[in-house]
Structure 1
Amino acid sequence: MAHQIFSKSVRFIEARLSPGGEFGLHLTAGVALLALAMAVLHELAEAVVGQAGITVLDQQVADWFHRHAFEPLTGFMRLVSYLHTGAPMVLMVLALAYYFWRIKARYWMLALLVATPTGAILNVAIKYLIQRPRPVFEQPLVSLLTYSFPSGHTAAATIYWGLLASYLVMVRPEWHARLLAVLLSVGMVLLVALSRMYLGAHYLSDVLAAMAESVAWLAIWITAMSTLRRRREAQQRALAN
């Protein structure tokens, strides 16, 4: 019995690592990433609602950042935060969408233009579902009236930079170029998350939940667009033959 299970597992892995099974590998990875991200988001949401131990850490981290804020770092963090909200974020998305259109990466363009606004709607829905108040300080660096969990800025940054990194990893053959794309994208997301905590707009669990939320959302849309593209290519090959 154990031998049969092992043999099936080996055949499963070989099928996905073969050139013909590349799509199976992408689909499997997408589903696994989605499941992991959703599990993380669920655990964080339950911990926040139930006032678990992470909420104590949240307050400690928020207080530490507030006590140690100073210029010019505060100004820099405000800039980072501003560039990932409202009009600047829309311009960044449109610029990347135009680039995808110019190079005929239409499915990537479609994934970007669908995942970004729907991800924002999802973020707002979760905010109103959890209804967590934002950090409170006597002399706040920012004052916001909306809910805190999860962070909208961090969610938007994760979708944008995550999709860009995914595209570069898929199209660039050089391992160092792929690694650089991933490191830069992760660095940008972490910087945005840090800016939101530094400014006192969000707790640690808010930005972690935003990352998990957007990773799950990206996994759905990138996998969907990859499926659509491969089916379209298969249909074109069938018509050509």
Structure 2
Amino acid sequence: MSTSSFPRLRRFLAARLSPEGQTGLHLTVGVLLMVAAAWLFGDIAEDVVHNESITLLDVRLAHWFHVNATASMTRFMLLISNWHGMVGAPIMAALLALFFYRRRQHYWMMALFAVVPGGMLLNVLLKYVFHRARPSFDDPLLSLTTYSFPSGHTANAALLYGLVACWLWVHHRSIGARAACVAGACTMVALVGISRMYLGVHYLSDVLAAAAEGCAWLAVCITAISTLRRRRQGHSLNQPGRDT
């Protein structure tokens, strides 16, 4: 490599790590998160397809939850699960859309419309790709006939709470507040995933893969919308007669 290449490399890296610009730090972080989440999903999916050790853990954990179920815990887990299903998730998405609309945050509304419906469709497609059967018990707490991998409820939670965490991250500058946002979102996603395992309708690998799937799709949507916003702002500033 010639010495003239190093300045170009430094400029390229500086541009990719810059908080400003259409293809700056936001794009770099978004691509890295997307690749990492997609790799994790692929690794889990490969283990499931080839019946690796995680599938043994799946069965043992499913059996443990089933044996240790109690009436009060079952009611609580049903509440958590139902609220993040086909009725609760759209309600939360609609309330979030109303919140963004009232604050005139149109790009966040665009992100919401891309994240939630697109993520739900992706999850359905993946279920039919892998067509994994759900856990089976003689006396199930909950019975479903659809496919198991990956968990739709967990993916919905990852998409919704992940989007909320992204919005809070942008609107809070302190490290403590941002850490709390991420921790809160992770806690809610974990709670939803545990509820699905407890009720005996998903394995651990279903839940982990769904969380990775949701993070990957969220990274794609947020990065794309952010890049679109920056590009439009850049074009607007470059219009003749506008102040720069």
TM-score by length of 1: 0.93
Deviation of 1:213 (Å): 0.8
Deviation of 1:14 (Å): 4.0
- 1:237 aligned partner: 237
Structure 2 CA distance for aligned equivalents of residues 116 and 168 of structure 1: 18
Q: Deviations over 1:11-33 (max 9, x none)?
A: 55544444535851110111111
| Secondary structure class of the residue paired with 2:238 | helix
- 1:68 aligned partner: 68
1:144 and 2:144 correspond: yes
Q: Which runs of 5+ in 1 are unaligned?
A: none
| Counterpart contact for 1:34–1:215, Cα < 8 Å | yes
| Counterpart contact for 1:77–1:198, Cα < 8 Å | yes
| Secondary structure class of the residue paired with 1:20 | coil
Structure 2 CA distance for aligned equivalents of residues 21 and 139 of structure 1: 58
Deviation of 1:135 (Å): 0.2
| Counterpart contact for 2:18–2:24, Cα < 8 Å | no
| Counterpart contact for 1:41–1:213, Cα < 8 Å | yes
After superposition, where does 1:96-135 map in structure 2 within 5 Å?
96-135=96-135
| Counterpart contact for 2:19–2:26, Cα < 8 Å | no
Deviation of 1:172 (Å): 1.3
| Secondary structure class of the residue paired with 2:87 | helix
Letter in 1 for 2:29: A
Structure 2 CA distance for aligned equivalents of residues 174 and 55 of structure 1: 41
Corresponding pairs, count: 241
After superposition, where does 1:140-219 map in structure 2 within 5 Å?
140-219=140-219
Change (3 A) 1:4 1:188: farther
Change (3 A) 1:165 1:109: same
Deviation of 1:98 (Å): 0.8
Letter in 2 for 1:58: D
Deviation of 1:55 (Å): 0.6
| Secondary structure class of the residue paired with 1:147 | coil
Deviation of 1:4 (Å): 9.2
| Secondary structure class of the residue paired with 1:86 | coil
Q: What is the root-mean-square deviation in Å for CA atoms of aligned residues? A: 2.1
Q: Deviations over 1:112-163 (max 9, x none)?
A: 1121111111111110110100000111110000000000000000000001
Change (3 A) 1:19 1:220: closer
Structure 2 CA distance for aligned equivalents of residues 82 and 221 of structure 1: 26
Q: Which runs of 5+ in 2 are unaligned?
A: none
Letter in 2 for 1:159: L
1:227 and 2:227 correspond: yes
TM-score by length of 2: 0.92
Identity %: 48
Letter in 1 for 2:47: A
Structure 2 CA distance for aligned equivalents of residues 168 and 204 of structure 1: 29
